[in-house]
């Protein structure tokens, strides 16, 4: 499939990179990307291991002395704020140009996505555009079918697609896949300040928890649930779109890869797990287009549109949906 083109002017998302089938020359070109250093891989490992350890500890901790309502409210609010920051901001807007936004909204979406602690804006967008260009083919940075179709190969591939690919030394060339963001000083600065947004994301829950309970214990509890557990859960839900949704799920729409719809991830992924439609029509602002498919990201975009904060939203009409139906 070839993604739709749009205008690339100040305040608007640039059109995504053409995702038509790659030639051997293009495939080999993606291998010669930027290098990721040891320090970067070490830092990445810590950001994965520490929140994941907290996620594993969450059940016995909750069983032992309970999960308070304050912690639950803070964790839920931070989870869906940052989840929509990624889905609406990083993904549907910056990567695919599903709608247009003015400068203030563009800045808000960039920061909100950064608070998810899933990587700097430019890096995230470049990786995802490359994924669509080579989806489930040689050159895709995180396809679960990387090693073959046998059960051992698929299990290895699922691990790679879920999180192993992030430690690959070869990095996606940012200038090649995200030139619009690289050439935007404000977006480039937000991307370089990823450490700041990470700090804000991790420190905001304990700050709120401490002020609400007026205690250090409340702050510590909010940090555990609202920072560590929340980040780990969001990470693994997001990574599951790369791994699970490219290995299993229903495929009612035609796409050139193995993307599938996984219903039980829909709420936690804010609608991203309706992945088959997304790969059949990547610039669509709505992924859950069939009856009963919950897509909170599309609902949020709709509210933004009604408020006048975004415009030219690419809503899929009945004809557009029917044209992408599988035979």
> Model confidence over 265-274: pLDDT tens digits?
999 999 999 9
Name the residue ranges covered by the structural domains of the chain.
24-323
Mean pLDDT of 20-35: 38
Mean pLDDT of 225-248: 92
Given a cut of 50, whether residue 77 has pLDDT beyond it is: yes
Over the chain, what is the mean pLDDT?
85
DSSP state, 317?
-
The two structure tokens encoding residue 309: 């904060």
Mean pLDDT of 41-56: 51
pLDDT for the residue numbered 67: 74
Find out whether 246 and 143 touch, Cβ atoms under 8 Å: yes
Mean pLDDT of 93-105: 98
Q: Which of 48, 66, 73, 110 is nearest to 234 (CA)?
A: 48
Given a cut of 90, whether residue 58 has pLDDT beyond it is: no
**Chain CA centroid to CA 231, Å:** 13
What's the farthest any 2 CA atoms get from each other in the chain? 61
Q: In angstroms, rounded to a whole number, what is the distance separating the alpha carbons of residues 267 and 171?
A: 31
pLDDT for the residue numbered 7: 35
Q: In angstroms, rounded to a whole number, what is the distance separating the alpha carbons of residues 200 and 35?
A: 28
Q: In angstroms, rounded to a whole number, what is the distance separating the alpha carbons of residues 173 and 294?
A: 34
Given a cut of 90, whether residue 68 has pLDDT beyond it is: no
Q: In angstroms, rounded to a whole number, what is the distance separating the alpha carbons of residues 41 and 161?
A: 16
Given a cut of 60, whether residue 24 has pLDDT beyond it is: no
The pLDDT > 70 percentage for the chain reads: 80
pLDDT for the residue numbered 169: 75
Mean pLDDT of 51-67: 58
pLDDT digits (tens, 9 = 90+) for 158-177: 889 988 888 887 789 999 99
**Res. 38 pLDDT band, cuts 50 70 90:** low
**Chain CA centroid to CA 201, Å:** 16
Given a cut of 50, whether residue 110 has pLDDT beyond it is: yes
Given a cut of 90, whether residue 300 has pLDDT beyond it is: yes
Given a cut of 80, whether residue 284 has pLDDT beyond it is: yes
What are φ and ψ of residue 78, in 5° steps?
-70, -35
The pTM (predicted TM-score) of the whole model is: 0.83
Given a cut of 60, whether residue 229 has pLDDT beyond it is: yes
Q: In angstroms, rounded to a whole number, what is the distance separating the alpha carbons of residues 86 and 93?
A: 9
Q: Please report the beta strands in 23-166, taking only residues with DSSP state E, as ranges in sequence order.
A: 34-35, 100-101
Mean pLDDT of 201-210: 97
Point out the least confidently predicted range of 32-41, 85-94, 277-286: 32-41
pLDDT for the residue numbered 46: 52
Find out whether 221 and 72 touch, Cβ atoms under 8 Å: no
Given a cut of 60, whether residue 35 has pLDDT beyond it is: no
pLDDT for the residue numbered 152: 86
The two structure tokens encoding residue 232: 């780990």
pLDDT for the residue numbered 4: 35
**Res. 94 pLDDT band, cuts 50 70 90:** very high
Given a cut of 60, whether residue 128 has pLDDT beyond it is: yes
């Amino acid at each position: 499939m070839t993604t739709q083109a749009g205008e690339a002017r100040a305040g608007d998302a640039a059109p995504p990179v053409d995702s038509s089938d790659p030639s051997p020359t293009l495939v080999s070109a993606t291998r010669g990307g930027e290098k990721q250093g040891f320090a970067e891989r070490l830092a990445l490992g810590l950001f994965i291991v520490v929140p994941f350890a907290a996620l594993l500890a969450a059940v016995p901790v909750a069983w032992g002395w309970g999960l308070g309502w304050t912690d639950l409210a803070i964790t839920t609010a931070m989870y869906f704020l940052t989840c929509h920051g990624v889905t609406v901001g990083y993904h549907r807007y910056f990567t695919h140009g599903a709608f247009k936004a003015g400068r203030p909204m563009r800045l808000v979406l960039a920061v909100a996505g950064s608070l998810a602690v899933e990587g700097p804006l430019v890096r995230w967008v470049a990786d995802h555009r490359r994924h669509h260009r080579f989806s489930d083919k040689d050159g895709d940075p995180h396809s679960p079918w990387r090693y073959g179709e046998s059960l051992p190969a698929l299990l290895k591939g699922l691990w790679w697609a879920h999180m192993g690919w992030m430690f690959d030394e070869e990095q996606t060339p940012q200038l090649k896949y995200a030139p619009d963001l690289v050439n935007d000083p404000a977006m480039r600065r937000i991307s370089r300040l990823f450490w700041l947004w990470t700090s804000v994301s991790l420190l905001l829950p304990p700050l709120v928890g401490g002020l609400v309970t007026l205690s250090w214990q409340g702050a510590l509890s909010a940090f555990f649930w609202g920072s560590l557990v929340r980040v780990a859960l969001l990470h693994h839900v997001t990574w599951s779109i790369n791994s699970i949704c490219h290995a299993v799920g229903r495929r009612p729409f035609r796409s050139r890869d193995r993307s599938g719809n996984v219903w039980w991830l829909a709420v936690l992924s804010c609608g991203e797990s309706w992945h088959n439609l997304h790969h059949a029509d990547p610039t669509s602002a709505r992924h859950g287009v069939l009856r009963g498919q919950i897509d909170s990201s599309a609902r949020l975009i709709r509210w933004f549109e009604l408020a006048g904060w975004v415009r030219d939203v690419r809503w899929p009409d009945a004809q557009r949906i029917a044209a992408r139906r599988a035979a």
